[in-house]
Structure 1
Amino acid sequence: MNRIVSLFEQHPTRNLNVYFTAGYPALDDTRRILKALQEAGADLVEIGMPYSDPVADGETIQISNQQALENGMSVKKLFEQLSDMRDEITLPVLLMGYINPVLQFGLENFCRRCAEVGVDGLILPDMPVDEYLEFYKPIFDRYGILNIFLITPQTSDKRIRQIDDNSEGFIYMVSSASVTGSQTGVSHDMEAYFERVNAMNLRNPRLIGFGIKDHETFSKACLHASGAIIGSAFIRVVQQNKHLEEAIRAYVSSVKQGS
């Protein structure tokens, strides 16, 4: 069974998914941060594949992308860094990024390498659902890689049900129509959106992302979904602390348990 599916079956609530950018702050920090997140108690991890034009991301993640690229990070280098990660990493691992570098690498080659190193799923926000279903789904299925779709407050019920019918693992609920790192909390409008989606009784669990940064926002999101995703706030932790393992441990604990 895919590790993502297994996680939600065994632990259906209060799952913390943490995003970080591969190759940031230093090129060889990818595995170090991944291991530190596992030891700190993260439930699953998204590793961002740096891209020169990350249009859905705010300033914090854009800066991390640019620095990682300047450090020499690439898709090929990332797979090299993850080559034996399953010797020490047991939690679900996803790669998140934009479709262009994946297509340049070759989608089948990319999915094959994901399977070889033990990546469980992909999040490619700019890959259209219809295009995935028509051209790419058989390749994802062949290598056992889950494709995680995003929905927003503007996504129609019809499209949400199409996504739910054609995906597995979880659905990424973007909390608002904005870039990453731009929100300050969970608003009334967001809660109405969460309640609308919950009322649809979808078969896939949901994780809420964009605007989650601390114990309060994490706990509020968990009232409406199976957990939440933190990105920009975690990048700032990595950015501002030289003692990464200690800082990561303290931050994850503060989000999950409060302090």
Structure 2
Amino acid sequence: MNRINQLFNGNKKDLLSIYFCAGHPTLNGTVDVVRALEASGVSMVEIGIPFSDPMADGVVIQNAATQALQNGMSLKLLFEQLRNIRRNVKIPLILMGYLNPIMQFGFERFCRQCVECGIDGMIIPDLPFKDYQERYRLIAERYNLRIIMLITSETSEERIREIDAHTEGFIYMVSSASITGAQQDFDAQKRAYFKKIEDMKLRNPRMIGFGISNKATFKSACEYATGAIIGSRFVTLLDEEKDPEKAIEKLIQGLKE
């Protein structure tokens, strides 16, 4: 069974998934970051593929992607770095990146390399659901990979139910229709959106991302979904600490205070 499905089939709550950008802050530190995250108790890791035009990302992740590219990170190098990661990493691993570099690499070749490295799925923020259905779904399913789709407060109920019916793994609930970046708390409008999706009783579990950075936002996300995804805050701490173990320790401490 795919590791993503195994994780969510355990009926766990308060899951924490962490995003970071491969090749940031150092070119060769990607595997060390993943290992540090697993050792700290993180449930799942999203490894970002750096891209020169990350439309959905705020300034923190944009800057991380720019530095990673300047460091020399590429999709080919990332797969080389991840080749032996399953020797000692057990948690689900997801690659998150934009369609352009994946298409340049070749989608089926990308899927094949994911399987060889033990990657469990992918998040492609700019992949339209229609294109997913018509061009990519069957290829990904052939390799037992999960393509995770994003929804926002602007996504229609009809489209949400379509996504729920035709995807596996989990649904990524974007907390706002804007770009990534830390928030202090979620307002009543966002909570109403979370509650609306919860009341739909979807087949797939849900993870809430964008803006999770502290105890208040993490607690709110976990109240309405299976867990939360943190990106910008961890990337910032990696920049500050230059040590993945210290960065994740500081992040987890902040979720408790």
Contact 1:42/1:252 (8 A) holds in 2: no
User: Does the 8 Å contact 1:16/1:229 carry over to 2?
Assistant: yes
Deviations 1:153-183 (A, max 9, x none): 0000000000000111100000111100053
Tell me what 1:108 maps to: 108
Instruction: Name stretches of at least 5 consecutive residues in structure 2 with no aligned partner.
Output: none
Alpha-carbon shift at residue 220 of structure 1 (Å): 1.2
Q: Which amino acid aligns with 2:177?
A: A
The Cα shift of 1:245 comes to 1.6
Deviations 1:2-52 (A, max 9, x none): 101100111431000100000000001100100000001110000000000
Q: For residues 202-223 of structure 1, give each alpha carbon's deviation from its aligned partner in whole angstroms, at most 9, with x where no partner exists.
A: 0000000111002221111100
The separation in 2 between residues aligned to 1:43 and 1:72, in whole angstroms, is: 29
Partner of 1:206 in structure 2? 206
Contact 1:125 1:150 (C-alpha < 8 Å) held by counterparts: yes
Q: Is 1:167 the equivalent of 2:156?
A: no
Specify the alignment match of 1:128 in structure 2: 128
SS in 2 for 1:223: helix
The DSSP-based 3-state class of the residue aligned with 2:36 is: helix
Distance 2:242 2:49 in 1: 22
Conserved 8 A contact 2:146-2:167: yes
Q: Secondary structure at the match of 2:201?
A: coil
What is the CA–CA distance in structure 2 between the aligned matches of 1:243 and 1:136, rounded to whole Å?
37
Q: Could you list the runs of 5+ residues in structure 1 that have no partner in the other structure?
A: none
SS in structure 2 of the partner of residue 28 of structure 1: coil
The separation in 2 between residues aligned to 1:182 and 1:217, in whole angstroms, is: 9
Residue matched to 1:231: 231
Mapped contact 2:182–2:233 kept (Cα < 8 A): no
How do 1:27-106 and structure 2 match up within 5 A?
27-106=27-106
1:197 matched residue in structure 2: 197
Q: Distance in 2 between matches of 1:247 and 1:103?
A: 33
- In the TM superposition, residue 253 of structure 1 has moved relative to its aligned partner by 4.6
- Per-residue Cα deviation, 1:97-119 (whole angstroms, up to 9, x for no partner): 10010000000000000011000
Note if contact 1:40-1:253 (Cα within 8 Å) is conserved in structure 2.
Answer: no
Q: Is residue 186 of structure 1 aligned with residue 202 of structure 2?
A: no
Residues 25 and 242, structure 2, Cα contact 8 Å, conserved in 1? no
- In 2, distance between residues paired with 1:177 and 1:50? 22
Alignment deviations for residues 218-249 of structure 1 (CA, whole Å, 9 cap, x no partner): 11110000000000000011000033323323
In structure 2, how many angstroms separate the alpha carbons of the residues matched to 1:222 and 1:161? 21
Superposition pairs of residues 207-222 of structure 1, within 5 angstroms: 207-222=207-222
Q: TM-score scaled to structure 2, two decimals?
A: 0.98
1:146–1:168 CA contact under 8 A, matched in 2: yes
Which range moved further: 238-247 or 32-41?
238-247
Q: CA RMSD in A?
A: 1.0
> Hey, what does 1:141 align to over in structure 2?
141
Paired AA for residue 116 in structure 1: E
- 1:249 corresponds to: 249
**Equivalent residue letter for 1:215:** K
Q: Give yes or no for contact 2:182–2:212 (8 Å, CA) kept in 1.
A: no
2:183–2:217 Cα contact (<8 Å) kept: no
User: 1:121 Cα shift?
Assistant: 0.6
